Amino acid sequence: MKKHILSVLVQNQPGVLAHIAGMFAARGFNIDSLVVGRTEDPAFSRMVIASTGDELTLEQIRKQLGKIVTVVKVRDLSEQAIVERDLLLIKVHCPPEKRNELRGITEVFRGSIVDVGPQSVVIQLTGPEDKIEAFVELCRPYGIKQLSRTGVIAVPRASQPDEAPGLAVRKVRTRKAQLDSPATATPALPPS
């Protein structure tokens, strides 16, 4: 079992997220995290989907994604050098006498305290998933009141080629009603 990160370029239309999530659910594929946002072109959104499975599972996911009309491009980022980030906001129980201790841990992880209350603090941290997990484990003894994460976002490193092998690319499909012109219209069949 291996973690796979897929970058899926889709048309920015209502229902696309539900369609893709439904495809995963219908085929029994688990989504570990899913992040969606607009791209540099407002007509498209990029989904970054993290899923765990073997090579056969990944191949099935790629094939099924490729069949969805609103999917423009699917790229497996797992086999190349990438920049990967996850954003964490965590509210930790922290009375005033423990603040310096927690502040020190936060600084080691290059996080920041973004809100302070009488008995708790809110910490923001970004980084790879394993860094986030390690920080969460260090916060457990203090008492985690609430935790929220974005999920993994990733892009290929700047040194990587723009088009990697195994990339599924397709022109954007548009659905337009086509009216038959009188010259090409099919004649009506006579009644029998």
The secondary structure of 53-83, three-state, reads: ECHHHHHHHHHHHHHCCCEEEEEECCCCCEE
85 token code pair: 């980030």
3-state SS assignment for residue 88: strand
Quick check: 119 pLDDT over 50? yes
CB 27 within 8 A of CB 60: yes
Structural domains present in the chain: 2-79 (3.30.70.260), 83-149 (3.30.70.1150)
DSSP secondary structure code for residue 13 in this structure: -
pLDDT in tens, 83-106: 999 999 999 999 999 999 999 999
- Over the range 14-33, which residues count as b (16 or more CB within 10 Å of their CB) and which as e? eebeeebeebbeeeebeeeb
Mean pLDDT of 112-127: 97
Please tell me whether the overall predicted TM-score, pTM, comes out greater than 0.85 for this model: no
Query: Facing residues of 9 across strands?
Result: 46, 73
**Which tens digits make up the pLDDT trace of 11-63?**
999 999 999 999 988 888 889 999 999 999 999 999 999 988 888 888 888 88
